[in-house]
Amino acid sequence: MNKRNDGPPYPADGYPGKQDEAEASANRGDRGGGQEDSGVKYPEIFVQLTGTDGNAFAILGKVQRALRRAAVSDMEIERFIEEATSGDYDKVLATCMEWVEVG
């Protein structure tokens, strides 16, 4: 029996590079969960956005409330709102993901 493999050897989930990225992270000694790893400004703050109202103002309100509960300064929250509203809907989502962990 002759087995032929025409494609690259991807991991079972079909995402090339996922395994390599994880191995590289382990080799660097990364432990995950820190701002350096995720690039999130407040990685300790989690906001559940999936399964909720997708309206931009509702999303901004949820993140703003989470920032307040975490005792983030009013000036910093104002910066978040200004940044998030400086573009379109995609900018709102991108800014939320840059500032807090979202799910």
**pLDDT tens track for 44-68:** 999 999 887 889 999 999 999 999 9
Residue type, 90: D
pLDDT at res. 51: 85
pLDDT digits (tens), the chain, 103 positions: 555 555 444 444 443 443 344 443 333 334 344 444 579 999 999 999 988 788 999 999 999 999 999 999 999 999 999 999 999 999 999 999 999 999 9
pTM of model > 0.85: no
| Alpha helices for the chain (secondary structure H) | 18-28, 35-38, 56-69, 74-84, 89-99
